[in-house]
Structure 1
């Protein structure tokens, strides 16, 4: 059975709206747990350019702060970055924050990471955009060591750990699950070599692969081709258990859907080996959003659970 993840609505609404309050976090957290969603997702844009925002880019809160608020308002749902742009931050700072959140949430963190695509954001943060893929690989290695709870040594680009420890470490061992986002072949290889899972997304309905700088996956056939590449690379590097696969959305951007269509597609994706899929929920008001989330739980999640 496919598990369903839900992108949280806080980034899609005016920060002064009824969504972006502690009461909103509490109400939304309760609704998604009643509905049976597996994970709550937040994105990462610490300092996007005004040009990107004016062209349709969305607002964003700090992902780990936002997930901490959600953790306080929930008991079961997993807390997932979808995605955290890993090269933006020293990996040991990320490790410290993730370990704290994992411990205080009872071991509910999933770390979705990606290389990002906004040159202006990289520039503002003082990180070399052209080196983002090399930094991704390096930071993933550093992050895994730092989250071990053991003393570690690591020499990175402009930093070095020599006999350091991050204590207390996370509850989950050897570390919270690491999902590598992106459709490109390099991202797939990274998921196989350094991750626990792969996190692809559909690129239709206005998603620009030139802007997001990743490969196209527009339909199930192309997804199957990418999965075949992932399995082939597992054989190449000798990985016996392939990464888990959780797609960003079970619905393609702009696609009309019905509950039965989602149920059918969930079965198809499960047959392809996927374990989870995201589902965006609409709602003009907080009450409408929560009602729609719970309706999805009743019409899809509960139906699949009873199958």
Structure 2
């Protein structure tokens, strides 16, 4: 089972940001990504919001780094770790624009891109950018189809749909990967179905452990039904990656209050707890560490990579 991390600093929702992040900056982001790269993490991830309305700013904050710029910045400073948009609200932008940005990123980083996509939830963002919020699911469905074409091997991609129509327009460079993995985020019935039939993987949004098995079973059922019915799973090729987001972690015995939901203990104990995700069918787990400083976070990342990761 592989493991990745949502980077600190680049998004600062009160749901997960640590107090030290408020005064942090690019150098802290860079140091964390390098630590994850050294520790053998499968990916580092960056979120996506264009603008936060005042009504949501107290909870979400307005600190949301652009994922393409952020991941490109980190690509030049890392060697092995993959770069995940978790998740890009791709329906906010024309797919040719999105394809140009992420194809360039994949070329620059040597084929390390993982494109995580989601429908979005902030209505004011959609309104400001002239995108239909009420039908954002349908917008995302077609956008994924268009991105499959625009991120494919063809210099002149072609797509003909209800919302987007293009052909005869060349885009170079092409991605370094022959096929950019698209992981679909979200835990609603519609998102789960979209992941099953259009994605190469699923990124759950807040599913607790006891709900994951039924979600995984549903995705498998949908994919099997499509195959049995003779209808090809659209654009689906190769293995499907099931994800999970683990509870907050702290390796060792904390001397400060890390929250009642945080998993603490020695490496063996934490590895045993996380292996339960693999038993459910999870292929990659996203971990988050409680920390009071950049140094403490980097120490936790290093300890996880050295002492917990090998047992997964």
TM-score in terms of structure 1 length: 0.85
- Structure 2 residue ranges without an equivalent (≥5): 228-232, 249-258
**Pairing partner for 1:153 from 137, 154, 158:** 158
Using the TM superposition, give the Cα deviation of residue 162 of structure 1 relative to its aligned residue in structure 2, in angstroms. Answer: 2.1
In the other structure, the counterpart of 1:256 is: 262
Alpha-carbon offset, residue 46 of structure 1: 1.0
Structure with more contact order per residue of length (Cα contacts < 8 Å, sep ≥ 6):
1
Runs of at least 5 residues in structure 1 that lack an aligned partner in the other structure: 203-216
Cα deviation, 1:34-73, whole Å, max 9, x if unaligned, reads 2221100111111111221113446210001000111011
Superimposed CA distance per residue, residues 16-42 of structure 1 (whole angstroms, 9 cap, x where no aligned partner): 966313x33442222112222110011
Change (3 A) 1:254 1:245: farther
Matched, 1:142 2:175: no
Deviates more, 1:252-261 or 1:129-138: 252-261
CA distance in 1, matches of 2:74, 2:23: 16
- The alignment's C-alpha RMSD in Å is 2.3
| Residue 232, structure 1, aligned to residue 221, structure 2 | yes
Aligned in 2, Cα 1:18/1:49: closer, same or farther, shift over 3 Å?
closer
Q: Does 1:244 align with 2:241?
A: yes
Match of 2:3 in 1: 4
* Cα separation, 1, equivalents of 2:218 and 2:289: 31
Structure 1 contact 181–187 (Cα < 8 Å) conserved? yes
Question: What's the counterpart of residue 270 of structure 1?
Answer: 278
Matches of 2:269 and 2:261, distance apart in 1: 11
Deviation, 1:157, is 4.8
Give the match for residue 195 of structure 1.
Answer: 199
Partner deviation per Cα, 1:179-211 (whole Å, 9 max, x = no partner) = 000111211221122111111133xxxxxxxxx
The total of aligned residue pairs comes to: 285
**Alignment of structure 1 residues 1-307 onto 2, 5 Å:** 2-10=1-9, 11-12=11-12, 19-21=24-26, 23-57=27-61, 59-150=63-154, 151-157=156-162, 159-173=164-178, 175-202=179-206, 217-220=207-210, 222-238=211-227, 239=233, 243-247=240-244, 249-251=245-247, 255-258=261-264, 259-304=267-312
Partner SS state of residue 143, structure 1: helix
Using the TM superposition, give the Cα deviation of residue 134 of structure 1 relative to its aligned residue in structure 2, in angstroms: 0.5
Deviation of 1:88 (Å) = 0.9
Aligned position for 1:213: none
Deviation of 1:254 (Å): 6.1
Provide TM-score, normalisation by structure 2. Answer: 0.84
Separation (CA, whole Å) in 2 of partners of 1:63 and 1:196 = 20
- Corresponding residue for residue 254 of structure 2: none
The 10-residue stretch of structure 1 (151-160 or 129-138) with the greater mean CA deviation from structure 2: 151-160
